[in-house]
Structure 1
Amino acid sequence: MARPRAFDTDTALDVLVESFWDHSFATTSTDDLCRLSGLSRSSLYNAFGTKREVYALVLKRYSDRKAAEQGALLELDLPGADLLRTFARTVLDHQWAEAERRACLGITASLETGPTGGDVTERLERNAQGFSATIAEIVARGQRDGTLDASRPATELAWVVHAMLDGLQVRSRIHHDRADVDRCVETLLDLLAPRD
């Protein structure tokens, strides 16, 4: 009979999310993962697999957490343009609330992994697709209620919004004035406003 695990896997994964988010895949060693999670090497491998498998699980855990937060925003009873503003500012609020101003883990992982990362690249692409789909749903709402431009498909506009949010998160790592970032959001909303 297998001995029951003496640790909570969700708690351990949350700790490992923070570790990879603070550092990177390359600079986080298996010893680091063991030390931070409190697991021995054998327990870590038995619970999660190799370091790369841990990383894929961490990215899924992070993505699931963010998807739940974004899903809650979709429940807000707001016109599409106002919801898009709220969505964008919420993404940025999370980053600016931290002294380190870490960008989304998916962004930093994508920069590190690139197109040849196998299962990790596939996980990151699924995460990005989910984020874009949420934005597209918001844009489509705005197109239906007349608060956002309907001359282009919501999915195409969602890619533009997604790219802008990714770029703002990267820039926010080094920029000192949040007001400049908020002005970019307002400029985008002006560009997405219905045309006469």
Structure 2
Amino acid sequence: MARPREFDPDSVVDAAMDVFWVSGYTATSTNDLCEGTGLARSSLYNTYKSKRDLYEEALRRYGRRTRTEQAELLARDGPVREVVRGFLLRAVDTQLGDPARRGCLALNAAVELGGADAAVAELTRDDFDTIVATMRALIERGQATGELSPGDALAKARLVHAALTGIHVVGRVAEDRARLTDIVDALVDSL
């Protein structure tokens, strides 16, 4: 008779996500995952089959988190410019407040493996598309009220996502907050 699990699988995926987020997929060893999750190698592999399966599950978990955050963002009231500005400034503060300067897990995965790995590319595209869809809906809302100038809302939403990506990349080496808030201000003023 099999022993019941003595750990919470959701907590294990969250812990593994943090390990991958800091080190990336390739540089993360099984020992790193065991240490980060607190599981023995046998428990890890009995539950997740491989490092790869656990990585994909971590990316799916990150994507679910993104969808939840984006739904909350879309539900916010107030001027659209300020909602978008707040979203981007939270990314600035998160990036600069993280001692490891991890950036965005989906972006990291896309850079590391996305060009050579169809499953990772799909998972990261889904994450990116969620953000773009939210920004598009916000921009269309702002255009409908006259707050934002008319134009291609999808292209503008992709521009917001590009600025977010830039914040995560530049934020890894930025020495001051102004370098990142300039990106935010210029982007939001252009909407």
Gapped regions of structure 1 (runs ≥ 5): none
| 1:69-99 residue CA offsets vs partner (Å, 9 max, x unmatched) | 2322222211211211111112222212212
Runs of 4+ in 1 over 4 A off after TM superposition: none
CA positional deviation for 1:163:
0.9
Counterpart mapping for 1:96-115 below 5 A: 96-115=96-115
Report the counterpart of residue 151 of structure 1 in structure 2. Answer: 151
CA positional deviation for 1:38:
1.9
* TM-align CA RMSD: 1.5
Q: Contact between 2:70 and 2:130, CA under 8 Å: does it hold in 1?
A: no
Compute the TM-score of the two structures, normalised by the length of structure 1: 0.90
Report the counterpart of residue 50 of structure 2 in structure 1. Answer: 50
CA distance in 2, matches of 1:48, 1:136: 36
CA positional deviation for 1:2:
4.0
Q: Contact between 2:66 and 2:130, CA under 8 Å: does it hold in 1?
A: no
Code of the residue aligned with 2:165 in structure 1: it is D
Do structure 1's residue 176 and structure 2's residue 175 form an aligned pair?
yes
Report the identity percentage: 39
Code of the residue aligned with 1:68 in structure 2: it is T
Compute the TM-score of the two structures, normalised by the length of structure 2: 0.93
Q: Contact between 1:16 and 1:36, CA under 8 Å: does it hold in 2?
A: yes
Counterpart mapping for 1:1-196 below 5 A: 2-152=2-152, 154-192=153-191
Count of residue pairs the alignment pairs up: 191
CA distance in 1, matches of 2:92, 2:67: 15
CA positional deviation for 1:184:
1.7
Code of the residue aligned with 2:108 in structure 1: it is T
Q: Contact between 1:79 and 1:145, CA under 8 Å: does it hold in 2?
A: no
